[in-house]
């Protein structure tokens, strides 16, 4: 069992139930999946960029990445239907927990001038998005990195119904947030 998964079951889950005043164990928010994405906009001119991005993302995730292709042609962006736009991989269960463990404890502290992840990455549905401008993962050799492949988006999908519950879940995993998430209005008047 992954170290972070065991930590969630034994420590985080009971603490969240008390902190969020949840009556049922099934209401406790948990992480469902983690989606990694690298966009390769220059792939239409150089096909080697897609292969490099596939290789980088497969090494980072520990499983094979897939190429995402354009669904329709857009003349303004010089994109044709079926052309590669990026690469992605979806992590679940133990792979997901191992990846998050590496990101929290190894990768984020390696980022240059790192002051924390911005709390504005929540999407009002309990999911969290953040990105890396540089690929500073220990699985990649910094000397062989392609300058055309830079940046990666990470989406953490949770079962939380609100951003506040998702924030508390990630904070319990020692996720390095910059700032505090403020209670958002739901549009209801009192």
The per-residue pLDDT for range 5-41, each reduced to its tens digit, is 888 889 989 999 899 898 888 989 999 999 999 888 7
Q: Is residue 184 part of a domain?
A: no
The reply to whether 114 falls in a domain is: yes
Which tens digit of pLDDT belongs to each residue from 62-113?
899 998 888 887 777 777 787 788 899 999 999 999 999 988 888 888 888 8
- Tokens matching residue 50: 């897609």
In Å, what is the CA distance from 168 to each residue of 40, 53, 111, 112, 182?
33, 33, 24, 26, 12
Domain span at 140: 3-178
Q: What is the pLDDT of residues 129-173, one digit of tens each?
A: 988 887 777 787 766 766 666 788 999 999 998 889 999 999 998
pTM value? 0.85
Instruction: Determine, yes or no, domain membership for 112.
Output: yes
In a domain, 186, yes or no: no
- What's the rounded Cα separation, in Å, for the pair 22 and 25? 7
160 within a domain of the structure (yes/no): yes
pLDDT number for residue 156? 93
Q: Are strands 117-118 and 177-178 parallel, antiparallel or unpaired?
A: parallel
Q: Rounded to an integer, what distance in angstroms lies between the CA atom of residue 156 and that of residue 122?
A: 10
Residue 190 in any domain: the answer is: no
Domain count, the chain: 1
Residue 133: CATH number of its domain: 3.30.1440.10
């Amino acid at each position: 069992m992954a170290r972070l998964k065991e930590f969630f079951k034994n420590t985080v889950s009971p603490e969240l139930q008390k902190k969020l005043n949840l009556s049922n164990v099934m209401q406790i928010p948990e992480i469902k999946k983690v989606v990694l994405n690298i966009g390769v906009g220059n792939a239409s001119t150089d096909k080697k960029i897609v292969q490099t991005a596939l290789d980088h993302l497969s090494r980072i995730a520990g499983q094979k990445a897939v190429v995402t292709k354009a669904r329709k042609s857009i003349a303004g962006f010089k994109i044709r239907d079926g052309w590669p736009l990026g690469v992605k991989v979806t992590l679940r269960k133990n792979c997901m927990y191992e990846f998050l463990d590496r990101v929290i404890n190894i990768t984020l502290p390696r980022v240059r001038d790192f002051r924390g992840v911005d709390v504005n990455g929540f999407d009002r549905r309990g999911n969290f998005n953040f990105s890396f401008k540089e690929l500073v993962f220990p699985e990649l050799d910094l000397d062989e990195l392609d300058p055309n492949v830079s940046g990666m988006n990470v989406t953490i999908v949770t079962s939380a119904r609100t951003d506040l519950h998702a924030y508390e879940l990630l904070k319990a995993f020692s996720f390095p947030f910059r700032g505090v998430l403020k209670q958002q209005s739901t549009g209801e008047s009192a």
